[in-house]
Amino acid sequence: MPLPQLLLILAIAGAFGVFLPIYKGFDFLDPRLIVAYACLSAVIAAPIITDAFAEESELSRLHRLLRAWVFSWLFAAALLALALFTMNASHWHGRIILPRTSFLIAAECLSLTLAAVVASLGALLAGRFAPINVKAGFRAVFLLAAVALFLADRYGALAMSTSATTRLLFIVSSLLGAAALVMHLMLHVMLKVDPSNPGDRRRAGGV
């Protein structure tokens, strides 16, 4: 792994896995903040899949898609786990304090399916547009989403109970999972029509 990329990963882990939970304390258990951490998988997946499809590789495109999806989800899950550990270690009250198990499962389902959607969408767009334009598009969408969430939180639009949030997360995860499956099938069809990288050509019977 290149040194700049390693330093970036360490910086993200330090900021989101150590500094923020120490600063927030038990306010870190706010469901909205946990959901925000779950959504980090999408932010991580976007540049990874764009770069992966912009480079020549011996791996098939579908293999690169799977790797980007799983890595982004695992990295976001590891960040959340590190943050919860840091919060408990720095504000120890004699026992481990965590969000509800059902809520955590729902948040991870959201993280997994959202990463799948972004990775699949990035793979589809990378075949039609320049990588720099795809990245710029994702950045614009993430910025708009962050502003919308901030305004919704500011005006109380996201004030929901943990149980209601859990149900909503499961519903949204189901919809995202269906969307990711459709995009994955679209990508599979596109690769059969135009297997343009070495790994794909070998699977299509090319030289």
Which pLDDT score is estimated for 177? Answer: 94
Instruction: Label residues 141-163 b or e (16+ Cβ within 10 Å = b).
Output: eeeeeeeebeeeeeeeeeeeebe
pLDDT at 162 over 90: no
Residue 59: C-alpha distances to residues 55, 168, 197 (Å)? 10, 37, 8
Read off the pLDDT of residues 99-150 as tens digits, 9 standing for 90 and up. Answer: 999 999 999 999 999 999 999 898 888 778 787 888 888 888 888 887 777 6
pLDDT confidence tier of residue 82, bands split at 50, 70 and 90 = very high
User: How many C-beta neighbours within 10 Å does residue 25 have?
Assistant: 11
Which pLDDT score is estimated for 203? Answer: 44
Sequence-distant (≥ 6) Cβ neighbours of residue 20 within 8 angstroms: 28, 83
pLDDT at 81 over 90: yes
Give the Cα-Cα-Cα angle 137, 51, 201 (nearest 5 degrees).
115
Tell me what the mean pLDDT of segment 165-170 comes to.
Answer: 94
Chain centroid, CA 135 distance in Å: 15
Mean pLDDT over all residues of the chain? 83
**E strand residue ranges, 76-184:** none
Which pLDDT score is estimated for 138? Answer: 86
Greatest CA separation for the chain:
63
Give the range among 21-30, 102-111, 191-200 with minimum mean pLDDT.
191-200
Which pLDDT score is estimated for 86? Answer: 94
The model carries a pTM of: 0.82
Read off the pLDDT of residues 171-194 as tens digits, 9 standing for 90 and up. Answer: 999 999 999 999 888 887 776 655
Give the Cα separation of 172 and 117 in Å (integer).
Answer: 12
Residues 110 and 38: beta-carbon distance below 8 Å: yes
